[in-house]
Structure 1
Amino acid sequence: MTYVVTESCIRCKYTDCVDVCPVDCFREGPNFLVIDPDECIDCTLCVAECPVEAIFAEDDVPAGQEHFTALNAELAKQWKPIVERKDPLPDAEEWAKVRGKFGELKR
């Protein structure tokens, strides 16, 4: 099983999760992070660190967001690893509570 970054991360991109990942499995896109399922060791450390509760075990991804499992795998092959914490996006606080942000995802 792997962990999956879901919709809540879009347009926020808090990187608290990156700091605690022992295997550097996060990949960074323009306004979203993903987890490389081939690198994730299922340690669960990232889950508690995410301020927008965007990270779930593959089996626990919320209903309606199951497509994020395949999306994480796809984008992990395209995006570069992120290994250090960065500032969130400038308007992250405004977007943190917004739902239905999939259309905002930049690849």
Structure 2
Amino acid sequence: MAEERLQKIISQAGIASRRAAEKMILEGRVRVDGKVVRELGTKVNPAAYTISVDGRPLKGEEQHVYLLLNKPKGYLSTAKDDRGRCTVLDLLPEVKERVYPVGRLDNNTEGLLL
């Protein structure tokens, strides 16, 4: 396996988005082989190093599950909303995997999302 940027590895493991992973790195919450890494753009080979976030080792790349959802009116096509409005994730409380809505439909529009 080739070297990849640390924030990408963290994102692929399902811990956080790349932007949130960058923030974790800057905050000193990420370690590679026990050493704190604070430099963005650091590249590592995840197969050759132990990477941990907040003291917990990464488990590797998350498995992908694809869902089709018929979005009803009144839900936002996003994972979270800073104003507390209902999102499509509110329709999937039993799904334990991290969900990334693909496709954008207006709040008052219904239709198929992946």
TM exceeds 0.5?
no
Tell me: higher relative CO, structure 1 or 2? Use CA pairs within 8 A at least 6 residues apart. Answer: 1
Q: Which has the higher strand share?
A: 2
> Larger Rg: 1 or 2?
2
Q: Shorter chain as normaliser: what TM range?
A: under 0.3
